[in-house]
Amino acid sequence: MKEVSFIWVLLMLLRSSSSAVNPCCYYPCENSGVCVRFGPEDYKCDCTRTGFNGQNCTNPEFWTRIYLMLKPSPTVVHFILTHFKWFWDLVNKTFLRGTIMRIVLTVRNELVPTPPTYNTKYGYLSWESYQNTSYYTRLLPPVPEDCPLPMGTKGKLVLPDVIMLTERFLKRQKFRPDPQGTNLMFAFMAQHFTHQFFKTSHKSKGGFTKALGHGVDASNIYGEDLKRQHQLRLHEDGKLKYQLISGEMYPPKVSEVPVHMVYPEDLPAEQRLAIGQEMFGLLPGLSMYATIWLREHNRVCDVLKAEHPTWDDEQLFQTTRLIIIGEIINIIIEEYVQHLSGYNLKLTYDPSLLFNVRFQYTNRIALEFCHLYHWHPLMPDSFLIDGDEIPYSQFLYNTTVLVHYGVEKLVDAFSRQPAGQIGGGRNIHELVLRVAQTIITEGRSARLQPFNQYRKKFNLKPYASFSELTDDTEMAHGLEELYGDIDALEFYPGLMLEKTRPNSIFGESMVEMGAPFSLKGLFGNPINSPEYWKPSTFGGETGFSIVKTSTLKKLVCLNTKWCPYVDFHVPGKEEEAEPRKPLMEL
């Protein structure tokens, strides 16, 4: 045994003396400079258009210096946007609303490279990486293969055991509700919405996606490919197939629409619903949204058909799909992102804000975006519906829940039940802890760069220590012990364990890294381009107006018998007291 380890040490010594460490493993290039290796030991940083120069792109040019002096920190900007309500109420009524929204959008968009750059295979620009859309793109190249340590040159020789890491720092001890009042209606929207563009291909490892639309394409409603779409379509008046249960519209049975869906083997055939996204039988919250969008699609088809009696099935379908995409984007920006941001600035879905600035109407989903969106702490301990407490065992893959309660009662229940706080650690229900383990493991095989490298990429100061990352001293010590160096902390654990902002759902990094990807994906949609953003695209003023005035409440209540409490946050005091408005007032 002793000799073996002696020889091993000798070999390691020989190895390190004979082959130089790849200098890019030190991440020498600051401020988004690009590291290129020359010879065995040399490198150059390409600082072109970074505003910096010098060997490591660390010397600011004159105008950069001025800009940096004037630029407020994300903390200050966030504070201003989430305080001074009187000021923002004034802004809301003036042209300043649009002006500030434009600034928010352009500042965020500048952080997302377009055309896209790297992917999991290519840490340098390549045509293959650009044109092969089966890959998720990446903002930062992978950690070079030949680095001495898993995270580059810092930290320990082996990364912490994933099971131990998640059990200790991510597993829920006691349910901690989100202080922003986020509810399950929001959580299921998050999952439903993002699973149109996050569809990781698990059979082919290496950062591939099955979602080739790379954005808001409503493939979760219509299916990823044309074959599935045609199976789901009624081929009459542009509509989608459905089944009626006690006079109400639900997605059709798989026995009638034989598309591939993921269900447990023992689930009876008549309980299998056919939906655009094959995973959406997993949760009643997802099949509820699928039902709502199905009803909305067919409702809009009727509206269009009334105005365009000569249009064929195809044109009614295609135009309705564009309207549905517009509705989704509107609701996500003006209600979902609005809620999440906590901003007092009223966000506005007005694509014309970007018509006179440099902006490209294209998007490529990033692997980092997919990782950061693993918001499983949102999930509660059990589900409270109409006086019943339903455990996970009776909730997962149980499509009977949807039909048994109906859309109204589910919306009401999900809108009233608090979701968990995402950031701050120790809030993932045991049942989904495995998903956190998977994503950390995938982050390792994809060789994602350290959390601090991503902080820098998004113009945030890298953390100097674990105690700066989190106020929980026990956690800080534990992480220090496991990782050895704050610069070796991994991407996903960093996001989840960072201290949350006061009374907020998560910390600074999740917002500063998530918002650019999110807004680029929403506004980069072709329907927001000058060529598309006009009435004719949506079948005239009626359709255009459906897009521009869509709300979550209308989405639900124009498609249900009665209008439940519906919002992305749990009811506040005023709302509890507020009488239910009749449908006519919507």
Ligand X SMILES: *[C@@H]1O[C@H](CO)[C@@H](O)[C@H](O)[C@H]1NC(C)=O
Which residue, 58 or 126, is less far from ligand X as judged by CB?
Answer: 58
Cβ proximity to ligand HEM: between 147 and 190 the closer is 190
Pattern 58-77, ligand X, x by CB under 6 A? x-------------------
| Residue 162 binds ligand HEM (CB under 6 A) | no
Joined together, the tokens standing for residue 274 give 């056919």
Which residues have CB under 8 Å from 383's CB, separation 6+? 184, 389, 390, 395, 413, 417
Q: Report how far residue 137's alpha carbon sits from residue 190's, in angstroms, rounded to the nearest whole number.
A: 21
373 carries an active-site annotation: yes
Check binding of 392 to ligand X (CB under 6 A). Answer: no
CA 65 vs. chain centroid, Å, equals 33
SS3 content of the chain, % helix, strand, coil (to 5): 50, 10, 45
Token representation of residue 73:
């920190």
Smallest distance from ligand X to CB 313, Å: 30
Task: Name the packing angle between helices 400-416 and 184-194 (round to 10°).
Answer: 120
Among 373, 466, 506, 517, binds ligand HEM (CB under 6 A): 373
C-alpha torsion sign, points 204, 210, 214, 220: negative
CA distance 262 to 280: 8
Q: What is the 3-state secondary structure (H, E, C) of 488-512?
A: HCCHHHHHHHCCCCCCCCCCHHHHH
Binding-site string for ligand HEM from residue 245 to residue 284, where x marks contact by CB under 6 A and - marks none: --------------------------------------x-
Measured CA to CA, the distance from residue 107 to residue 520 in angstroms comes to 11
Residue 135 bridge partners (DSSP) = 208
Q: Which does 400 bind (CB under 5 to 8 A by kind): ligand HEM, ligand X, none?
A: ligand X
- 191 part of the interface to ligand HEM, by CB under 6 A: yes
Scan residues 438-457 and list those touching ligand HEM (CB under 6 A): 438
Whether 195 is catalytic is yes
Element (H, E) at 385: strand 383-385
Q: Does 435 bind ligand HEM (CB under 6 A)?
A: yes
Please report how close the Cβ of residue 285 comes to ligand HEM at its closest, in angstroms: 8
Q: Which two tokens stand for residue 559?
A: 């498609």
- Of 78, 192, 195, 371, the catalytic one is 195
Residue 14 or residue 90: which is nearer to ligand X going by CB?
90
- With CB under 5 to 8 Å by kind, the binding choice for 199 among ligand X, ligand HEM, none is ligand HEM
Interface stretch with ligand HEM, choices 69-77, 254-262, 366-374, 400-408 (CB under 6 A): 366-374
Q: Of 19, 255, 400, 503, which lies in the binding site for ligand X, with binding defined by CB under 6 A?
A: 400
Q: Which does 375 bind (CB under 5 to 8 A by kind): ligand HEM, ligand X, none?
A: ligand HEM
421 binds ligand HEM (CB under 6 A): no
**What is the distance in angstroms between the CA of the first residue and the CA of the last residue of the chain?**
78
In the complex, minimum distance from the CB of residue 10 to ligand X, in angstroms, rounded to a whole number: 28
415 binds, among ligand X, ligand HEM, none (CB under 5 to 8 A by kind): none
Q: Is 292 in the site for ligand HEM (CB under 6 A)?
A: no
Q: Which is nearer to ligand HEM, 222 or 375 (CB)?
A: 375
Q: Which of 120, 194, 298, 417 binds ligand HEM (CB under 6 A)?
A: 194
Burial of 433 (0-12, 13-18, 19+ CB in 10 A): middle
Give the DSSP letter string of 256-270.
Answer: TS-------TTS-GG
C-beta closer to ligand X: residue 241 or 416:
416
Nearest to 489 by CA among 85, 37, 260, 156: 156
- Separation between Cα atoms, residue 474 and residue 418, nearest integer Å: 28
- The C-alpha atoms of residue 405 and residue 307 are separated, in whole angstroms, by 35
- Going by C-alpha positions, the residue among 364, 449, 467, 380 that lies closest to residue 143 is 449
Q: 418 has which bridge partners?
A: 183
Residue 397 Cβ vs ligand X, minimum distance, rounded to whole Å = 8
Chain residues binding ligand HEM by CB under 6 A are 187, 190-191, 194, 198-200, 283, 370, 373-376, 378-379, 432, 435, 438
Give the interface with ligand X as residue ranges (CB under 6 A). Answer: 26, 28, 54-56, 58, 89, 92-93, 132, 134, 346, 394, 398, 400-401, 404
Residues with a catalytic annotation lie at: 195, 373
